[in-house]
Amino acid sequence: MSRDPNCIFCKIIEKKIPSQIIYEDDTVIAFEDVNPQAPVHMLVVPKRHIPEIHSMTEKDRELVGHLFFTAKNIADQEGLDSKGYRLVINNGAGAGQTVFHIHLHILSGRRFTWPPG
Ligand code: 5GP
Ligand code: ZN
């Protein structure tokens, strides 16, 4: 499994940095965001270190699909479907990405505006 020793999410995956884990399997992990932007704010992260959506390749196709499936399963488990939830991926610093290891934000528990800020 490819890891970057300087990457904060790789360190969370390796349990070198603690996190509130919600779900984990062989290829993805989900944990609470340390700085929540909504009453519910979780991150779904592939265990493979892929810096951003724009750097994924054909071999990541299934893994990225699995990220979304995992988010849907977590939303089911946490009863988010009736409230509505937003899934977000920021790609690149200009779009607000600050951690360069792909992650899918799950946000819920308040109203969200559109277009996003
Ligand atoms: P981005 O801005 O890259 O789309 O999202 C990065 C997210 O990672 C932010 O929401 C930020 O709060 C979260 N984050 C950054 N460092 C940590 C950490 O050490 N632990 C956890 N649980 N979340 C983090
Ligand atoms: Zn990483």
Could you confirm whether 103 is annotated as catalytic? Answer: yes
Q: Which helix (H) or strand (E) holds 62?
A: helix 61-77
Q: What is the DSSP letter of 85?
A: E
Q: Which helix (H) or strand (E) holds 26?
A: none
Asked whether the beta carbons of 9 and 31 are under 8 A apart, the reply is no
Query: Considering only CA atoms, which residue is closest to atom 18 of ligand 1?
Result: 34
What's the pLDDT score for residue 69?
Answer: 98
pLDDT digits (tens, 9 = 90+) for 58-102: 999 999 999 999 999 999 999 999 999 999 999 999 999 999 999
* Tally of CA atoms within 13 A in the half-sphere of 54 that contains its CB: 7
Query: Lowest mean pLDDT: which of 1-10, 22-31, 40-49?
Result: 1-10
Q: Is the pTM of this model over 0.85?
A: yes
What atom of ligand 1 comes closest to residue 8's alpha carbon? Answer: 19
What atom of ligand 1 comes closest to residue 96's alpha carbon? Answer: 2
What's the pLDDT score for residue 12?
Answer: 98
Token couple for 14: 């390796």
